[in-house]
Structure 1
């Protein structure tokens, strides 16, 4: 993820600005505000923009504990981001910084 300036991230991974936007660091509420989640440190985690915006828009969003389990499971399998994102990173053209 990147926070203030995407340019270094774009160059490092050799991706387009549009794809880099998906990886902007955002503050995600573990328990959504609409479900009573508060703006307190234990309820806020760093998440890329893509994950933050898609998690709560799901037809059947899962609660915080189920989501944490899903994240751990997918990360352990190396399957967190969609295949097109993984492909973009595996084909990076810029050398690592």
Structure 2
């Protein structure tokens, strides 16, 4: 049986078509090895694209566990936002990530396209 966080992560993953809320890269939910194989990555490289439940307003800042406060984000984006010294609004962080992605300065390795749905 899935816990609440796993259910929210899965729901967000599916509603976002398996793409990260911030960087729009494909993510994996259950099978790292299959994702790595399909996208031409090593397992180590694929780990950064694991789907996580991102609290748009962190719980530490008063955010709730409600589904409307959760987005699916790759491990890399979730980790980087969580390490910021000052809380940045999700929309502002998304714009920042998108700009960095455009010039190749966000992920060290990108999954090969086209995107296939991996659950």
Distance 1:73 1:54, change over 3 A: closer
Q: How many residues align?
A: 88
Q: Distance in 2 between matches of 1:40 and 1:80?
A: 34
Shift of residue 78 of structure 1?
Answer: 3.0
Name stretches of at least 5 consecutive residues in structure 2 with no aligned partner: 1-26
Runs of 4+ aligned structure 1 residues displaced above 6 Å come to none
Q: State the TM-score, normalized to the length of structure 1.
A: 0.72
Instruction: Name which one, 1 or 2, has greater alpha-carbon Rg.
Output: 1
- Superposed CA deviations along residues 35-91 of structure 1, whole A, max 9, x for unmatched, are 0100001100000011111102112231x3xx31341465377358625224xx4xx
Conservation of the 8 A alpha-carbon contact between 2:29 and 2:51:
yes
Determine the structure 2 residue equivalent to 1:69: 92
Q: From the superposition, tell whether residues 54 and 74 of structure 1 become closer, same or farther in structure 2 (CA, over 3 Å).
A: closer
Q: Which runs of 5+ in 1 are unaligned?
A: none
Pick the aligned partner of 2:54 from 25, 28, 31: 28
Distance 1:51 1:74, change over 3 A: closer
- Counterpart CA distance in 1 for 2:61 and 2:30 is 29
Rounded Cα–Cα distance in structure 1 between residues aligned with 2:78 and 2:62? 17
The answer as to 2:41 corresponding to 1:15 is yes
RMSD of aligned C-alpha atoms? 2.7
